[in-house]
Amino acid sequence: MRNFTDDKKPQVRSLWPLWVAALAAFMIVPGAVGAAGGPAATDSVFIRPAQLKDLLGKPGVKVIDVRGAADYAKGHIPGAISVAWNIMQVPERDGLRNKWADDAALEMVFSQAGLSYDDYVVLYDTGTIAPGIAFAIFTYAGFDKLHVLDGGIGGWDAEINSIPAKPVESKLTLSRKNGNFVVGKDYVAGKIGDPAAQIVEGRSLQAYEDGHIPTAKHVDPAVYVKDGKFLKPRDVIVQDLAKKGVTREKQIVLYCGSGGAASRNFMVLKELGFKNVVLYLNSWDEWSIDPTKVQELGAANFTFSGSVLNGTNSLGPHFFSQSELKSALGQKSVVVLDVRSASDFNIGRIPGSVNVYWNETLDANRNPKSAEDLTALFARKGVTPDKHIVIFTRGGVQLTYMYTLLKLLGYPQLSAYTGRWEGWDMPSWKAVLGK
């Protein structure tokens, strides 16, 4: 944008006061007067303590303390109404943690707090991003003039008192006009790999590495806060997010463990001007127990390595060396079970091995098939409980899964081979290569 203050043309400088007046007439800022005589709406979510001081006592301004009732009683911003965030939630619904209260309960909470949709609402908690859950619920409920105190009560440098507010009860009917930003797991599944979308995980890095929705990027909302209180400069946050593919041009799909951290990310992204943001409220609690949904691991591949798994008294599988396996192959009691895909098996395999693709042992819901079906599947390939079974794959999840499955089915003699290809006579390879 052109900087008129640096323009040395006299005629432009003479127009500067007119530009200022025009901008002042049309700009909407916290504390400006709205059509009803109260403050007007603003695109900014966060307001600073100095701005809130100017707003206190003005018509239509409702300051909401979303901390617990005990903290509110000890001291709060004068005139603030207590609406603890946890009374807008239920501890559990359908086995999932921390769900929002139903519409009837939310209507009662907002009515008892004396709120209406004409109010200019300012939420605060202990710190900047702490009101994330309350902000998401208020947004879902349909409050448009909704803001958050940057720094929370910890950044408030003016008077506090312990006089409880006594709001006049209203008769609010929940509009939910903004409620379509809350989405379900199938919607999220449809965004995996979508170049116009970015899934964002809000749990701790350790939890993210433990398992996450495929393609999700990790963004801990705590990184937005400077010195434990106020929001960092907006351009710094935007640049950091862009490195992870989180940009305003994309639809951002937020989730976490049970909705809390994702709600905080939602609040900050709204502050940064992201328009297309959706919230998967049931989050990992729901996704991780659905066998039809895929997850990625951020941890290293598991290979049964280490002395704990291969010690003298270990009950884990014995890992054959190549020479040991070659010696064992001549025994009728030994079966090498190759659990890779049929295409890999056909290209190259250990001579005499049989193939049962590990993925074929699962049903449509990604659960193991019945014991009867599995026993029959293995028996057709000569894999029976009286045999010494040597599982072959390239390691990782496939090996651990098949070892566990056969143990559960009661196969007592299980070993493994994950060694090198060199030294095997591979006639199938030669056929494929035309040699």
Torsions phi, psi for 170 (to 5 deg): -105, 180
In this structure, the answer to whether residues 123 and 95 fall within a common structural domain is yes
Domain span including residue 221: 181-287
Among 268, 43, 67, smallest CA distance to 152 is for 67
For residues 203 and 103, membership in a common domain is answered with no
- 37 torsion bin: left (phi>0), alpha (psi -120 to 50), beta (else): left
Q: H/E element holding 196?
A: none
* pLDDT band, very low/low/confident/very high, at 40 (cuts 50, 70, 90): low
Cβ pair 126, 155 in contact under 8 A: no
- 30 lies in the same domain as 143: yes
Question: Do 251 and 336 sit in the same domain of this protein?
Answer: no
Same domain, 323 and 400: yes
> Number of helices and strands (H, E) in the chain?
16, 19
Same domain, 368 and 400: yes
Q: Which residue has 């609402």 as its token pair?
A: 121
User: What residue has token string 């003699």?
Assistant: 413
Check whether residue 145 and residue 280 sit in a common domain. Answer: no
| pLDDT value for 113 | 97
Question: What is the C-alpha separation between 79 and 64, in angstroms, rounded?
Answer: 9
CATH of the domain at 37: 3.40.250.10
Domain check: are 151 and 213 in the same one?
no
**Pairs from 432-435 (Cβ < 8 Å, separation ≥ 24):** 432/346, 432/347, 432/348
Residue pLDDT, tens place only, 272-286: 999 999 999 999 999
Return the pLDDT at 3: 36
Q: Would 297 be classed as within a structural domain?
A: no
Answer yes or no: is pLDDT of 31 > 60: no
Which residue is it, tokens 């008769």?
Answer: 171
Q: What CA–CA distance (Å, rounded) separates 147 from 165?
A: 19
Q: Which helix (H) or strand (E) holds 327?
A: helix 322-328
Rounded to an integer, what distance in angstroms lies between the CA atom of residue 387 and that of residue 418? Answer: 19
Q: Which of 257, 287, 317 is the last residue of a domain?
A: 287
Residues 282 and 364 reside in one and the same domain: no
Domain boundary among 144, 174, 204: 174
Q: Is 296 part of a structural domain of the chain?
A: no
- 143 and 33 in a single domain? The answer is yes
The answer to the question of residue 282 being in a domain is yes
Identify whether 151 is part of a domain: yes
In a domain, 207, yes or no: yes
Other C-beta atoms closer than 10 Å to the C-beta of 112 total: 15
Residue 311 in domain:
yes
The last residue of a domain, from among 113, 147, 174: 174
Burial 149-174 (b: 16+ CB within 10 A, else e): bbbbbbbbeeeeeeeebebeebebeb
Residues 314 and 390 in one domain: yes
Neighbours of 309 (CB within 10 A): 14
User: Closest by alpha carbon to 259, among 311, 181, 194?
Assistant: 181
| Position 263 in a domain | yes
Q: In terms of domains, do 80 and 65 share one?
A: yes
List the single range of 88-102, 126-140, 219-233 with lowest mean pLDDT.
Answer: 219-233
Q: Quick one: which of 139, 80, 141 has its CA closest to 110?
A: 141
Question: Between β-strands 146-149 and 120-124, what pairing exists: parallel, antiparallel or unpaired?
Answer: parallel
pLDDT in tens, 319-361: 888 889 999 988 999 999 999 999 888 888 888 999 999 999 9
Residue 12 has pLDDT above 70, yes or no: no
Domain count, the chain: 3
Euclidean distance between CA atoms 218 and 223, whole angstroms: 11
Which among 55-59, 302-306, 425-429 has the top mean pLDDT?
55-59
The rounded Cα 386 to chain-centroid distance in angstroms is 46
What stretches of 142-275 show up as alpha helix (H) in DSSP? 185-189, 205-210, 234-242, 260-271
User: Does some domain include residue 348?
Assistant: yes
From CA 100, how far away is CA 86, in angstroms rounded? 9
